Amino acid sequence: MSLASRLITALVGLGLIWFLWPFGGSDEVVKIIEPPSGHEGRLFTTPLPEAPLPEAALPKAPPPKKTDPPNTTQALPETPAKDGKTVAAVAPKGAVTPKGAVTPKVVPKRFYRVVVRDGGTLKAGDVVITLGGIKAHAADATCKDAKGRVWACGKQARIALMRLIRGRAVSCKVPASSAAKALTARCGVAGTDLSEWLVSQGWVKPEAPADTKLAEAADTARKKKIGVWR
């Protein structure tokens, strides 16, 4: 086929395409859909928000860790003993103990075959007991009366206490867990407080400050002018 034939065939094809193309060849009106209000001048609408995930699909935060409460308990201090062992500290009578401190329990304890060493000291086996609340003289001590005469106040006080006890058991109030060999305690025989009796008979004087009963007993002995008050 010659070049001229090819050109004619191409022009005929273009004419057919032009005739069959729907430019103005159809009376159908194409409707233009207007965009909704608020989207004028926009080429694309805003995408819809994503739906929230269900609660079960949401990640759960780890529970807070539990912390132990601070320890506010204060232990009682321990006192080293001479033999290297430690014993619990015991507050003296009348002292103010810290809050939460435990006061040692005091119980009566019987002592047998008691030996009177002086007007304020007893010995039972290997335990030495000092009678509490009084100031006693030594067994060989001497005193002077109002006229200046010397008399054996220590010896007579010892004899008077021996006659009161007469080999009977002596009951003393001591700490329940105490195993000490030297004690200071209030003791009695058959319901009679030894410290009160000695003060009332004038054989000893009460320690200061004296409790009510010892002070009254000393006042009675002073008025009678007996014992150390003669």
The tens digit of pLDDT for each residue in 90-127 reads: 344 444 445 555 666 889 999 999 999 999 999 999 99
The tens digit of pLDDT for each residue in 45-60 reads: 445 455 555 555 555 6
Q: What number does CATH give the domain 104-198?
A: 2.40.50.90
Tokens of 107: 């119980």
pLDDT at 120: 96
Phi, psi of 112 (to 5 degrees): -115, 160
pLDDT at 179: 81
Element (H, E) at 87: strand 86-88
Tokens of 119: 């007007």
Bond from prior residue into 209 cis (ω within 30 degrees of 0): yes
Tokens of 208: 């200061």
Domain boundaries, the chain: 104-198
| pTM, entire model | 0.56
More confident residue, 133 or 80: 133
